[in-house]
Structure 1
């Protein structure tokens, strides 16, 4: 494929481009992305279209952590990159680009559909982790190698392959070679493979395929051994006994010991060194076994720890759910009890609320709301009400006691508030106590020094007594003056109202006289 960006200006995957792409998909109903503080929640996006945008590099895709479908066909991309965080991706379209090598797909273990159609790829490689691959389109590329076809044998779930348009697909034996070497596929170049041609192809390449199977079995065995060895090495490393199951440690230590090397020159030293090595290896092997045993103990302790953590989480979740349910029920009951204060309430509708679905909803409500006549627009009969009152008799008695106590507290608080307002209007606020003297004396540094003089306490007490008496006199005088002012104001408004009434009466007389005069004038 030609390098299209020789004539087209390359674009980058900018934030504006991503936002526009997401918005367009949301408008089509393909994504339900909820804005957060005027920003899109990219982690909620599951499909993304970035086709026909002249993109040269794959960038900024790490934002879409939950993406399952990515379409980037018809761009000018040269390299597969930037997909490491898209581990939930199942569908990827990179067709009609300028890609030359298959790479950057190692983390896409959930991928089932991959399209690299119409690129410049020559070899099929670096796809070993795509175990779930089901559909693979690699048509119109530069694949011309039988080994690339054989490479696809490792994908057990592969069912559809497109290879048309490659140099290899123009060879005479392309079809028979492919269906013989890929027995797991059902469709080649999007056409169903019949059984008869497949059987003929298998007969034609029988010896070659048998040799290939043998080689694959040997490779798998080698891979298995290498994997087992790697796992064993990792186990020893985690147990802190790496390379302690052999005599490598002694050999390495003795090799670097110059004095030990001189010892070998002494006649009979070989036997002595062999004995030392035997004992050393035995001790190291004991340490090796102990390390593995301790590793097993640690793993069990860690497993037990996480079991306890998960059990604690489950228990806390259960308890939290119980507390939430109890709180919801308490909140509803509190609301119903709140309605008790409305003496004139006669009709209540509560149906449709979670509390209304509980077995005791009806009896609880009609017992706690004795003033209502209709519940959920249905008349309440006296018999069910009496039964409900008997059932909740103790609870209601306690509730009445609590309500009386609350009313008494509210009355005291209201009286105190009114008294405070009265004192404030009389300009004698906080003058009925000794707070004024205490506050003044507290801020008087000279007065504090006076307390250090012997006998000053009695003097201060006398001063305080006289001061409080004077303030109390002022307090009484202020209340009396407030009472006088209130009486004067009341008298003033009485006079005003009497004057208004007199003016109204006189105005009415004048109006009547004017009407009579107007009538007489009309008659004459």
Structure 2
């Protein structure tokens, strides 16, 4: 049983004074006196890399905001009861919370860079709360209250874990404790090092791993099969998510499941299922194959078109930025020339012997130059605006051509799907007529033999299907309604995709023109402000040298 840290004095609160007094070095070498003094007095808090707040009688983890640069934090030998307020310290690689009163592992979700974690000598009874710490290399949870060997299974996910301390927990009393831990924390590559290196401060030899795995081989085989299935399921789900994201970026989200969605949501599906109740792979699979053979190449055409859009946009932005930069440089040259003239005139007027008539003339010429500067800057701005408008129009034409190609591709694709569906419905209709005729023939033959209706043998046609097929008008109506529904869904999907593409294009162009207008207004404001500032300086000169 772990011993709890006991409060022997008033709890201390973490504050800036304590932080500075505890500033340390991030390496494992002793910190010199000079370095400690530098860390305490000169280093900005956000640049601190390590804190050693041991033996401070700290009850609550708090007031660590702004210490995002920490990579090493020691809070051992305190009276902390809860792990909290640490998730912003995302650079931490080393955390020591040993010798406290912690009862639950929590509050570490964002510390994904953590490699070394010590929770030694606390009151923890369950291994949990570490799921995001995939880089964990050393974990110490010795001298706690972990009582079930099954808790060890939680650690299997940490494939980089090499040093583990569990001694001092109730589980250590189990006769199979060490072998169980070693066996279950070894993996398929255990012979080449895929296992713990140290358990409870003792080296784990490869021979020890082999013996432990042999002892628990049946359990490990079952566990490996289970983990393999889970890994495959995760990989499959990840691939599904990746494909969904890809289709979404292409503007054709859900296109890969279009047929299944249409069939499953068809209001007439139950009735049509009665018609197709027999095993007819030629009917069921043919449309799936034809849809797949149309969808897969359609998806492949999207990648280069999406890239063309991105490349065209990037090229446009680069050219615009280049032209803006050139215009800015020209404006800077004009402004600097005026500033130099203003400076020369000011120096000239500082001469006490300068006649007042000359002062007035120089001031007037400065005002004329300021007006000329404003006109030249405005002319530059106007040329820049016209150039940007032309570039936007040219971009709109080039980008619009890509949108047209995409639209034509979409239209052709959905036309193909409609043809596939039309052929499918036609085959279903032909099959239905054959089945209707067959059922009616069996019924007529039974009547001729005075055989009761419920004694008729319909062969491989179920009684429910036979009953449905005897209602010819209902069958034909159901097939026709299904066709209408399928075409309606195709039309809706095509309209959704085409509208989204056009809408995104319109939004892009609106944003580009809006940005251009805002830039134009900003430049106009800057020109007016510059002229006003220069006029103020001219007035100051005029007042300074007035009679």
TM-score w.r.t. structure 2 length?
0.47
More helix by share: 2
Pick 1 or 2: higher relative contact order, CA cutoff 8 A, min separation 6: 2
